[in-house]
Structure 1
């Protein structure tokens, strides 16, 4: 069957395997067509009833199952014809197939098609995909020593679990130099993760029509799954996870991973990263390496954050201003202005004693230290991760794995949807491409869609703000015995402000979840519509869209509380209203204890709620779905419930599975860095969650999901740049939180500049920070209704009220204008922001400069390995020439630059 040339000049699937078939006998006879192989193993066929439940082989017990398709027979002829043609093309591509009849399945209606890739196919595509394989044992001594290694002994896994392997020099597989590589057993030479990766490459590009030239879009297993031709396609797990395999041929790495990695009781143990990489591939391995390293670094941030919280807990009884607020003779004598129109009455300052204590736990001198510490911690985390990642790249043979290699592997969807072709300037081969006009139109539509959904988030935030304004007035009227209305119940905890803040945060969290659910589908749809060229480009585009949306979705409410709430309220007699004064929705003021405690409340609810909801989604939902799907199979004998049927009843690990895991962790990273000055315990909550997250993700992958198709990755991709962006932004946000949301700067200005006594003390700070307003100057729409005022309020005796601001008192020539102290405080705040940002940024850049991204020993080993690879390849070519000349063969000049001119001259003469 003739086919067009593949992308970038590669031969197409069938052409490569037709060539492989013709050269099969020349490669030591390792190629066998379907008929000869069936004859060879015909005597070994066994009945399924006697085959082990854990068998991952064809019925002959020899050929390994690399992939499984499932389908249910129906009356639609088109689907049967597609399957017939597709399977015929798979066989032409060199794959071997075996069908399990529906009568042998546990539900009596599902067919299972097993796929095996013989050596010739694996070798051909290992050459195409440039898969690196060993050719010599690494003889470079590893002189790395771990200081105080005995301290880490309790956290280590035993060698029989880690399976330490000899280190090899590796090189891209070359089928024409097969004797150059270390091949002991061709059946086990390529690990299962590599085998299923190769098979997936074939089945995702194989056509399902007779003439591929007429319908280029009719190809690939993905389209066949979408149109219902097949119900599923997946590689097999290694046997069962809950017990050791009874099949001696089954390696059962899955059981080992479950026992020593996926169980929560192993939370303090290291992760077997090499085993994870061998079983699931480098992409999943690098995710768990990053998650584990992130969790390790969180431990240090959590310890410092806990120490800052304990400091606030210990010192809250020693601060003068907190004592003044709770003092009957100070805070009990200060009458505060109403917090809303009509429905809010006057209240006394000492009624906020509880919220003042709570605020001090997070708003103290340790806050500044912790904000600076987290700015440096973020830099150390990112720099040390780069070093860890560089070491993994070397150990996992990913040093030469560049994005350009993935450019050679176009997405099948891109190949089918792009009808135009042009010549590649580098390869000089014809390749599909998307015209610039079409690309621009798609990009504009995509951007407009993202902006529309972001505007929905902003609208929902405005709606929540309106809810806060309306409900606060209602709650203030209902809760007349709250601390802001009756000083006799100082011990009460629930206030209208707290009730409003908590309920608004919960509503905001529900809105976040709903918008996330809807937007995820929209983001995937518009990314598909853009037709990205490669899988890498697809992931990057989707990553930017999803993170931009979730950044606004999760953080906008926190930004509002931190930087806008209480900043634009005006003053008594001249309040600022939302939209207009006719709405009656007066801009809300901060909680009497300050806006910082409200930001903490918002952060705890959104962050903790997201983590709890995420763990429920990740663990409980797949477990329930699997339990429901496999309920009928549990009553059948084990011999009828085969390995592929067990995996068929598991959940499918989608191509976005890992994407959502990264997104969840990066959003959490934003919470513990952007707003950490308001909540030092955030790293501790994240640490507890991540300890659970590592094991939940491991348990989910090992027990509840089908085995993902292995894929390579040398880094965490676009997420690294996003983390860097968050790290830089976190310095700015924390500086502004300390300056404008916390009361730290006003206290320091008072302490050093405005205390009237001879000794520096904070006595009198509370009275100094409150301005005075004449009650008689209230407008009618601002005055509280007569029945809203507390019993102790006597309008003939009380003529003024206080409010949080720095304004001249009534009767002054500049009455109600800002005092000089206000401008001094504002200047101090701006100076603090500039100084803190510059100090942290200088330290960040200095730390990043002195810590190299790649460890020196790794650099040396990489250079040494490249030199030795070149030398051994050169010696291999020379030896090949010598053998050929000694055997009297014709001299064929080698097509390699490694052979010297002297050797070539000697050969030619």
Structure 2
């Protein structure tokens, strides 16, 4: 570590000893060449893009040019110690940006040896942190976030970021991505660029979803199904079979009047339109993001940043240890954790089945066959309480899975940082996918599908009878589940990200607040902040990708999901920027040219969302049964949907109840009751009594046909849109080619001048043949 300059100082309380490391110029230029860092060689003379005619309209949303573009645009080239005069080195102290400097220092510290143990070399700041030799290692912020630095030569970029970006009152302003990249590095800059673009695209989805919701709201009174359910002479005269064995009584269909009306808000013809729209929207989002990402790669000199460069940078843990065969153990551990998630999901289902009968018996009035609450049905009460319980279990399991996933990935000892992040990302995403979405999949595709009928009910573990959907369908319950889990996750996430760090920092600075500011040094102030950590950005991506799943996989059941996500993300951008600027130590700068493996995860979820929404419309909503009745079974030409409720409810003879299913009392001595909604079974006087009728098979065929048609239509449109939109804009391609040519020309001219100087000085190594060869290469570059 002799290449560093040290500043040692004891803290004001005398309990902590700080070592400030400064990398001299020679160290910086040496490792700049090792890390292939690009630096300016000439100011960019390519004409800027033509001004957007909408710029005057967008002016209130713009930031000052100095904030948006804090430094000129340059032609750049990888740094070489032998060509220092080629680069625009006006001041050695500011030539490398702060993010470049802390990236270089961190690279050295992670590989710096400090001793041997049992013949093995020990090195790396991470190991010193793990064994307690040091408590923290972090780059310093440049100033206080609430005021500029006293040194006039300091740019005070942290202060600028706070004033122009990290305050919530600036939520309507664009993000200063170039300044974010300059201060925090490309990896964090790419994240905020993606989050901002995602939020912008959500605006369109939120508007369309709101329109679909309003359509359902304004057409509630026109819904013939809910009218018949609420009509005392129709729904009030239909007696439904008990919802549970023995303890539950008969009940009247009109007791579900309110829930059937509210179900129409999300189960209407707009549902189909919105499901198709979101299938196309997600394609537009991913394709336009590729274009935006390509533009950023050009603007941030990341065009030639290849994955192979990262592959060359081995993780110190891999270099220090011999790789053992831990893959089998890690895979077994991974499978065990997924099994635990599935077990927890089964536990929630058992809870639903156990309390379902209790709610059904408690919420009935045996004298009038009316529920205690007309809106809160047993199905909805079970769904709400189960959703809350499921959310609590999700939060608890997440706490353990994060640590287990890291432990499993560490056991595998991945070769590179990129390989480590990719493996951890896939493990954590699969954990979270099963954890968050399993309950929604259960309600959407399994609940109410395997109920059976009296005498042949389906039981879990031969004890708990499978729960039925609400007579208005399971879609309203899926909406409830989605709303509770999605909203709860976003609220809890903001509490974790904003309030918890603020409280921790407030408590940590309680003693320092009593000291004069001149005794509270910059490094002490930063030490009292929270650590962003190597996986800090990983958790931010994970949170947003899980949200992306909620608004795509199940959006057919909840058109307002994009609106909730939009409002959350507007807050999320400012919360993330605020905590990064004010509550966390400055992260180590890292380079990245894309969002990495998250792009593939988003692509996979986009394809899966088409399938899930097609199945939701077909099997969870009531749309297909209504259409089949409308076109094939309706007998009323003036009002085709009248009689639908009576047609869809199967008849069961009460005298056929087995003792296990028969209720304890029958207060009005009913002869028949109706089975589960949309069950379509032959009546008791038919030779095929209680078997599925032909209408059931017609509806099933229509559902399967709808799924095939919808999937093919959406997939064809998706692939056509993806084919029509190029990943890299044409103007960016042209600029990349021109800049490569001009940069190559500058480098060749430099080499040519050097050779001329050597010839003039009589350098025997620079022969005439070498000169002619170089001149020939120049002519070739001009011809390209």
Report the TM-score range of the alignment, normalised by the length of the smaller protein: over 0.9
Match for residue 816 of structure 1 among 673, 687, 690: 690
- Aligned CA distance change for structure 1 residues 898 and 650 (closer, same or farther; 3 Å): farther
Match for residue 680 of structure 2 among 806, 813, 837: 806
Within 1, Cα distance between the matches of 2:718 and 2:225? 35
Match for residue 138 of structure 2 among 234, 245, 259: 234
Within 2, Cα distance between the matches of 1:412 and 1:299? 44
Q: Paired residue for 1:98?
A: 7
Q: Paired residue for 1:341?
A: 245
Q: Paired residue for 2:423?
A: 541
Deviation by residue 1:341-396 (Cα, 9 ceiling, x = unmatched)? 11111011111001001110000000000000000000000000000000000000
Within 2, Cα distance between the matches of 1:155 and 1:394? 24
3-state SS in 1 of match to 2:154: coil
Residue 382 of structure 1 pairs with residue 286 of structure 2 = yes
Q: What is the deviation of 1:896?
A: 11
3-state SS in 1 of match to 2:8: strand
3-state SS in 2 of match to 1:234: coil
Residues 751 and 760 in structure 1, CA contact (< 8 A), matched pair in contact too? no
Residue 825 of structure 1 pairs with residue 709 of structure 2 = no
Pairwise CA RMSD: 1.8
Deviation by residue 1:612-651 (Cα, 9 ceiling, x = unmatched)? 0011000111111111111000000111001000000001
Residue 398 of structure 1 pairs with residue 302 of structure 2 = yes
Residue 273 of structure 1 pairs with residue 177 of structure 2 = yes
Q: What is the deviation of 1:156?
A: 0.4
Residues 363 and 372 in structure 2, CA contact (< 8 A), matched pair in contact too? no
Q: Paired residue for 2:457?
A: 575
Residue 558 of structure 1 pairs with residue 467 of structure 2 = no
Q: Paired residue for 2:96?
A: 190
Matches within 5 A, 1:669-748: 669-748=548-627
Q: What is the deviation of 1:523?
A: 0.5
Matches within 5 A, 1:445-844: 445-481=329-365, 486=368, 492-580=374-462, 583=463, 585-759=464-638, 761-786=640-665, 793-795=667-669, 797-804=670-677, 805-844=679-718
Q: Paired residue for 2:326?
A: 442
Residues 553 and 605 in structure 2, CA contact (< 8 A), matched pair in contact too? yes
Residues 334 and 802 in structure 1, CA contact (< 8 A), matched pair in contact too? no
- Aligned CA distance change for structure 1 residues 892 and 828 (closer, same or farther; 3 Å): same
- Aligned CA distance change for structure 1 residues 657 and 809 (closer, same or farther; 3 Å): same
Q: What is the deviation of 1:247?
A: 2.6
Residues 874 and 898 in structure 1, CA contact (< 8 A), matched pair in contact too? no
Deviation by residue 1:828-856 (Cα, 9 ceiling, x = unmatched)? 00010000000000000000000000000
Within 1, Cα distance between the matches of 2:71 and 2:511? 42
Q: What is the deviation of 1:451?
A: 1.0
Match for residue 120 of structure 2 among 215, 235, 260: 215
Within 2, Cα distance between the matches of 1:818 and 1:172? 73
Residues 870 and 898 in structure 1, CA contact (< 8 A), matched pair in contact too? no
Match for residue 114 of structure 1 among 16, 20, 23: 20
Within 2, Cα distance between the matches of 1:447 and 1:177? 50
Deviation by residue 1:260-282 (Cα, 9 ceiling, x = unmatched)? 10000100000000000000000
Residue 899 of structure 1 pairs with residue 774 of structure 2 = yes
Q: What is the deviation of 1:572?
A: 1.9
Query: Larger radius of gyration, structure 1 or 2?
Result: 1
Question: What TM-score, normalized to structure 1?
Answer: 0.84
- Aligned CA distance change for structure 1 residues 896 and 799 (closer, same or farther; 3 Å): farther
3-state SS in 2 of match to 1:183: coil
3-state SS in 1 of match to 2:676: strand
Residue 322 of structure 1 pairs with residue 226 of structure 2 = yes
- Aligned CA distance change for structure 1 residues 775 and 679 (closer, same or farther; 3 Å): same
3-state SS in 1 of match to 2:244: coil
Within 2, Cα distance between the matches of 1:801 and 1:822? 16
Q: Paired residue for 1:849?
A: 723
Matches within 5 A, 1:50-89: none
Q: What is the deviation of 1:658?
A: 0.2
Q: What is the deviation of 1:158?
A: 1.5
Q: What is the deviation of 1:149?
A: 1.7
- Aligned CA distance change for structure 1 residues 378 and 813 (closer, same or farther; 3 Å): same
3-state SS in 1 of match to 2:408: helix
Residues 351 and 486 in structure 1, CA contact (< 8 A), matched pair in contact too? no
3-state SS in 2 of match to 1:196: helix
Q: What is the deviation of 1:161?
A: 2.4
3-state SS in 2 of match to 1:269: coil
Deviation by residue 1:314-360 (Cα, 9 ceiling, x = unmatched)? 00101111111100111001000111111111011111001001110
Tell which deviates more after alignment, 813-822 or 678-687.
813-822
Residues 573 and 779 in structure 1, CA contact (< 8 A), matched pair in contact too? yes
Within 2, Cα distance between the matches of 1:139 and 1:160? 19
Residues 352 and 490 in structure 1, CA contact (< 8 A), matched pair in contact too? no
Q: Paired residue for 2:782?
A: none
Q: Paired residue for 2:186?
A: 282
Residues 678 and 737 in structure 1, CA contact (< 8 A), matched pair in contact too? yes
Tell which deviates more after alignment, 885-894 or 652-661.
885-894
Residue 176 of structure 1 pairs with residue 79 of structure 2 = no
Q: Paired residue for 1:367?
A: 271
Residue 302 of structure 1 pairs with residue 210 of structure 2 = no
Q: Paired residue for 2:732?
A: 858
Residue 135 of structure 1 pairs with residue 44 of structure 2 = no
- Aligned CA distance change for structure 1 residues 523 and 806 (closer, same or farther; 3 Å): same
Q: What is the deviation of 1:760?
A: 5.7
Residues 755 and 761 in structure 1, CA contact (< 8 A), matched pair in contact too? yes
Residues 371 and 377 in structure 2, CA contact (< 8 A), matched pair in contact too? no
3-state SS in 2 of match to 1:569: coil
- Aligned CA distance change for structure 1 residues 314 and 190 (closer, same or farther; 3 Å): same
Residues 364 and 372 in structure 2, CA contact (< 8 A), matched pair in contact too? no
Q: What is the deviation of 1:150?
A: 1.4
Q: Paired residue for 1:157?
A: 63
Q: What is the deviation of 1:690?
A: 0.4
3-state SS in 2 of match to 1:845: helix
Within 2, Cα distance between the matches of 1:290 and 1:629? 33
- Aligned CA distance change for structure 1 residues 611 and 686 (closer, same or farther; 3 Å): same
Within 2, Cα distance between the matches of 1:739 and 1:631? 59
Within 2, Cα distance between the matches of 1:846 and 1:820? 39
Within 2, Cα distance between the matches of 1:268 and 1:568? 49
Within 1, Cα distance between the matches of 2:164 and 2:367? 59
Within 1, Cα distance between the matches of 2:13 and 2:24? 31
- Aligned CA distance change for structure 1 residues 300 and 896 (closer, same or farther; 3 Å): farther
3-state SS in 1 of match to 2:6: strand
Gaps of 5+ in 2: 780-784
Q: What is the deviation of 1:901?
A: 5.1
- Aligned CA distance change for structure 1 residues 668 and 902 (closer, same or farther; 3 Å): closer
- Aligned CA distance change for structure 1 residues 801 and 383 (closer, same or farther; 3 Å): closer
Gaps of 5+ in 1: 1-89, 419-433, 905-909
